[in-house]
């Protein structure tokens, strides 16, 4: 009589693919919880190992943990992490069920646009002889390019007012006049003037922030003579 031959059935414990929905424009340093996925595709009663990196997971609405666990068909999982403390930065959490994985990503919102510079005091009036210049101001406190305007009056004779950004001319005009120019954080601004007639005594230059509803940043006097 022939001996019976035994076979061990192969158990399928590889789940179907699953997907977490990424989140964008989230606030910084906040708890972010993914959508819930349901395990499927394994044999009935089969068990698979569960691991998580970069965060924690919850099984069947239980508490969140980073410890390894197991999963069977119809178990539900969500993952959780804290969003980045920096703007425009991603944090990733990956859930792996026996080699099948997906990553939940949250990306923080971009920083709010700041168009108000911190330091804009041209305290050195342009006075004296044929030509002169203000002190140099370094623009700080903004995180985008802004547009400034300089307008200047004329008392008695004509003069030329020029604007230097990072020591390069970005505008020049005869009085009375005005013109726009753009600056970024860290740029330096200086104004220079020279008379084209005999003198200008009580002329005034006004610097406004076009990008911030034409807010007046500062004024300085211009008084020159040949």
What token pair was written down for 142? 């903004």
- Sign, Cα dihedral of 185, 187, 188, 190: negative
Is a pLDDT exceeding 80 seen at residue 7?
Answer: no
Angle, alpha carbons 8-10-15 (nearest 5°): 160
Is a pLDDT exceeding 80 seen at residue 120?
Answer: yes
**What pLDDT, in 10s, does the model give residues 132-147?**
999 999 999 999 999 9
Q: DSSP assignment of the chain, as one string? A: -PPPPP-PPPP--PPPP--PPPEEEEPTT-EEEPPPEE--SSPTT--EEEEEESSEEEETT---B-S-EEE-TT-EEEEEEEPPSSTT-EEEEEEEETTEEEEEEEEEPPPPP----S-----S-EEESSEEE---EE--S-SS-EEEEEEE--SBS-EEEEEEETTEEEEEEESSEEEEEEE-TT-EEEEEEEESSSEEEEEEEEEEEGGGTTEEEEEEEEEEE-
Q: In 3D, which of 28, 30, 142, 143 has the Cα closest to residue 86?
A: 28
Q: What's the whole-model pTM score?
A: 0.67
pLDDT value at position 14? 97
Is a pLDDT exceeding 90 seen at residue 36?
Answer: yes
| Averaged pLDDT score across all residues of the chain | 93
* Least trusted range by pLDDT, from 36-45, 51-60, 111-120: 111-120
Is a pLDDT exceeding 70 seen at residue 8?
Answer: no
pLDDT band at 6 (very low <50, low <70, confident <90, very high): low
Mean pLDDT for the stretch of residues 86-110? 97
pLDDT band at 87 (very low <50, low <70, confident <90, very high): very high
Please give the domain boundaries of the chain with CATH numbers for all domains. Answer: 23-108 (2.60.40), 126-225 (2.60.120)
Burial of 81 (0-12, 13-18, 19+ CB in 10 A): buried
Mean pLDDT for the stretch of residues 176-203? 91
pLDDT value at position 157? 76
Chain position carrying tokens 């990956």: 94
Cβ–Cβ < 8 Å for 207, 149 = yes
pLDDT value at position 127? 86
pLDDT value at position 1? 46
pLDDT band at 128 (very low <50, low <70, confident <90, very high): confident
């Amino acid at each position: 009589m022939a001996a019976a031959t035994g076979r061990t059935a192969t158990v399928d414990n590889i789940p179907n693919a699953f997907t977490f929905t990424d989140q964008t424009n989230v606030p910084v340093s906040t708890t972010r919880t993914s959508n819930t996925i349901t395990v499927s595709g394994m044999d009935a009663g089969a068990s698979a190992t569960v691991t998580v990196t970069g965060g924690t997971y919850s099984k069947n609405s239980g508490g969140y943990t980073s410890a390894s666990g197991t999963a069977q068909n119809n178990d539900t999982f969500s993952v959780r992490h804290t969003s980045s403390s920096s703007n425009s930065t991603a944090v990733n959490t990956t859930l792996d069920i026996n080699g099948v994985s997906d990553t939940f990503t949250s990306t923080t919102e971009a920083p709010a646009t700041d168009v108000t510079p911190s330091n804009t005091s041209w305290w050195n009036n342009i006075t004296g002889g044929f030509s002169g210049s203000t002190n140099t101001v370094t623009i700080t406190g903004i995180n985008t390019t802004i547009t400034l305007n300089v307008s200047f009056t004329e008392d008695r004779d004509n003069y030329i007012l020029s604007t230097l950004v990072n020591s390069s001319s970005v505008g020049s005009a005869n009085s009375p006049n005005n013109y726009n120019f753009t600056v970024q954080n860290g740029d330096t601004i200086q104004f220079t003037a020279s008379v084209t007639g005999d003198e200008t005594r009580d002329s005034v230059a006004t610097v406004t922030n076009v990008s911030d509803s034409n807010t007046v940043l500062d004024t300085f006097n211009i008084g020159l003579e040949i």
